[in-house]
Amino acid sequence: MKNVFSVVILFFTVISFAQDEKAKRIDSLFTAMNVNNEFNGVVLFAEEGKIIHKKAYGKADFSKDIALTTASVFDLASVSKQFTAMGIVLLHDERKLAYKDPISKYIPELAFYPEITIENLLTHTSGLTDYMELMDASWDHSKIATNKDVIKTLATQKPELLFKTNSQYEYSNTGYLLLASIIEKASGMSYGDFLKKNIFDPLKMTSTAVNRPRFAPKDIPNLTKGHVNGVDGSPVPIDSYGTDQVAYFLDGIVGDGMVNSTVDDLFKWDRALYTDQLVSKRDIEKIFTPHTLSNGTLTNYGFGWQLKDHPTYGRVTGHSGAWAGYLTYIERHVSNDKVFIFLQNTSLMTTGNPVLNSRKLLYNEPIEIISFIPKQYSIEELKSYTGVYKNEYIGMDITIEIDDNNTLTGQATGQGAFPLESFEDHKFKFDPAGISIVFSEDKNSFKIKQGGSITLFKKSK
């Protein structure tokens, strides 16, 4: 019997040592990134329900030199969508709505979109136009818009759908805005109050709330400020740029964002999703099931979560967010019960989320180090890299083209083109923004590194 206990003690000692070494590697990565202005935020890594690393790196408010803590509160941006989706699932369980209901049942002003259902909104298959572009072009920027204002604008302008409903997947903030309004209509409560009563309070997420800091500010302890590049490149609060920006005049919108939280509360959320504490196991399965398009193709999105079956890491669910000087990310490795969470309050040219390297650290794999040796490519060689590249987790494309100077360029959706210097082994760089791109041998994908993060994009056309 003593030998058995000795083996058990040795087993747990080995596990503890391995986790300590893993935590040290994680800390080394984020410490280096913080020193290089590549990461400013709070991280949490956990395995099998146990936190192996949780730490704050950097400032909550640069102008006042206030340090972040692990209790710091961040705007989750699009990571909020998973809570909106859960709200819909809860109302479905109460039979206050059905996934196949047309949205016009709850928002009659949009009856001219008869084919769009609640499920289409949940899965980004509605074909609705982007409300941010619509409001940027037509809304008085000195006023703060709400969901009702966006719905009124849609009803007045009646923009055509981008594609036939359910024929394609295209990430849509508009859809999740409308879902929040449907929650309010079906529940008779405000979006924030409904989430608090039905999600945050039951899970004891005591630092989590819906917050519109410019439209209806709340007194939230440990709330951080979102920062962007100032004129000299240093971090400044986004509000220093005044009211003529989307972070100001769209601050009244909820559903696609505006949930504020901490890494500890998001860890509680992660744990709850392995249980039936909020909804049944059948509902959880529905949330994490890829949606099927009308042609039978599966998307990589369920209800508020991006989905992937990874050959090494198993079932992976996650979501990113970017808004008003915040960058956020949560990724759950469901097959292996691992999770990592990044909450940042800077969105600088050098900032990034080190997703690929974080995965590698969790599985004791070597992280990627990219070296560069200059090389000139022929025009024909450069043409082989051109195309539109996508990432299933990010609602943004990157187009690779050749400009008039026979230089390869990259251009992200809604942004300007940037020239790429060429190097050996299919590598390219744009140093002013700290961007590196490494193409695969077959030119059908590339990894882009910026600010310590490495993200995979695949060619779509």
187 and 284 part of one domain: yes
Q: For residue 277, give the DSSP letter.
A: S
Query: Which residue among the candidates 16, 28, 78, 347 is catalytic per the annotation?
Result: 78
pLDDT at 394 over 70: no
Task: With respect to residue 311, please indicate whether it lies within any of the assigned structural domains.
Answer: yes
Question: How many angstroms separate the Cα of 22 from the Cα of each of 51, 92, 263?
Answer: 12, 42, 19
Place of tokens 């494309």: 397
pLDDT band at 37 (very low <50, low <70, confident <90, very high): confident
Q: Is residue 61 part of a domain?
A: no
Domain extent at residue 86 = 75-362
Residues 343 and 398 in one domain: no
The rounded mean pLDDT for the chain is 91
Could you tell me if 272 and 195 lie in one domain?
yes
Question: Considering the domain boundaries, does residue 23 fall inside one?
Answer: no
Domain of residue 168, CATH code: 3.40.710.10
Cβ atoms within 10 Å of 158's Cβ, excluding its own: 10
Q: Both ends of the chain: CA-CA distance in Å?
A: 64
* Angstrom distance (rounded) from CA 402 to CA 380: 11
Give tens-digit pLDDT for 42-66: 999 999 999 999 999 999 999 999 9
Over pLDDT 90: what percentage of the chain? Answer: 73
In a domain? residue 15: no
CA 307 to each of CA 7, 200, 321, 392: distance values in angstroms, whole numbers, following the listed order:
39, 24, 15, 8
pTM for this model (two decimals): 0.81
Mean pLDDT of the region 327-341: 97
Looking at the predicted structure, is the pLDDT value of residue 433 above 90?
no
Give the span between the Cα atoms of 228 and 324, in whole angstroms.
8
Q: How many helices (H) and strands (E) does the chain have?
A: 12, 23
> 305, 328, 362: which is the final residue of a domain?
362
Among 5-9, 227-231, 429-433, the range with the most confident prediction by mean pLDDT is 227-231
Most confident of 237-246, 333-342, 415-424: 333-342
Whether residue 1 has pLDDT greater than 60: no
Residue 78 has pLDDT above 50, yes or no: yes
Tokens 């986004």, residue? Answer: 238
Tell me the pLDDT band of 356, cut-offs 50, 70 and 90: confident
- Whether residue 19 lies inside any domain: the answer is no
Question: 């929040």: which residue's tokens?
Answer: 180
Last residue of one domain, picked from the residues 303, 332, 362 = 362
Tokens representing residue 39 in the block: 């990461």
Flag whether pLDDT at 287 surpasses 50. yes
**212: in domain:** yes
Q: 431 and 352, same structural domain?
A: no
Residue 188 sits in the same domain as residue 313: yes
Q: State the pLDDT confidence band at 5, using cuts at 50, 70 and 90.
A: very low
Question: Is residue 59 situated within a structural domain?
Answer: no
pLDDT at 19: 72
118 contacts 97 by C-beta, under 8 angstroms: yes
Q: How much is the pLDDT for 451?
A: 58
pLDDT at 8: 46
Instruction: Tell me which of 362, 388, 413 is where a domain ends.
Output: 362
389 three-state secondary structure = strand
**Does 448 have pLDDT greater than 90?**
no
Q: Identify whether residues 326 and 275 lie together within a single domain.
A: yes
User: Is the model's pLDDT at 3 over the cut of 70?
Assistant: no
**Residue 144 backbone class (left: φ over 0; alpha: ψ -120 to 50; beta: rest):** beta
Of 403, 397, 389, the residue nearest 438 (C-alpha): 389
Residue 351 has pLDDT above 90, yes or no: no
pLDDT digit string, tens, across residues 147-196: 999 999 999 999 999 999 999 999 999 999 999 999 999 999 999 999 99
310 and 413 both lie in a single domain: no
Residue 9 pLDDT level (bands cut at 50, 70, 90)? very low
Do the Cβ atoms of 303 and 291 come closer than 8 Å?
Answer: no
pLDDT digits (tens, 9 = 90+) for 309-319: 999 999 999 99
* Same domain assignment for residues 330 and 421: no
Which is nearest to 123 in space by CA: 298, 340, 315? 298
Q: How far apart are CA 199 and CA 214, in angstroms?
A: 24
Cα separation of 275 and 54, whole Å?
23
Q: What is the pLDDT of residue 373?
A: 79
Same domain, 276 and 386: no
pLDDT of residue 6: 46
How far is residue 455's CA from residue 275's CA, in Å, rounded to a whole number? 31
Quickly state the pLDDT bin for 98 (edges 50, 70, 90). Answer: very high
Number of domains in the chain: 2
Q: What mean pLDDT comes out for the span 355-383?
A: 85
Q: Are residues 273 and 329 in the same domain?
A: yes
Q: Is the pLDDT of residue 457 over 70?
A: yes
Residues 6+ apart with CB under 8 A from 153: 131, 134, 135, 138, 139
> What does the DSSP 8-state code read for residue 80?
G
In contact, 257 and 175? CB cutoff 8 Å:
no
Q: For the ranges 15-19, 123-127, 258-262, 268-272, which has the lowest average pLDDT? A: 15-19
251 with 186, same domain: the answer is yes
The verdict on 140 and 250 lying in the same domain is yes
The domain that holds 407 is classified in CATH as 2.40.128.50
What's the pLDDT score for residue 338? 98
Give yes or no: 138 in active site: no
Is the predicted pLDDT of residue 376 greater than 60, yes or no?
A: yes
Residue 235 in any domain: the answer is: yes
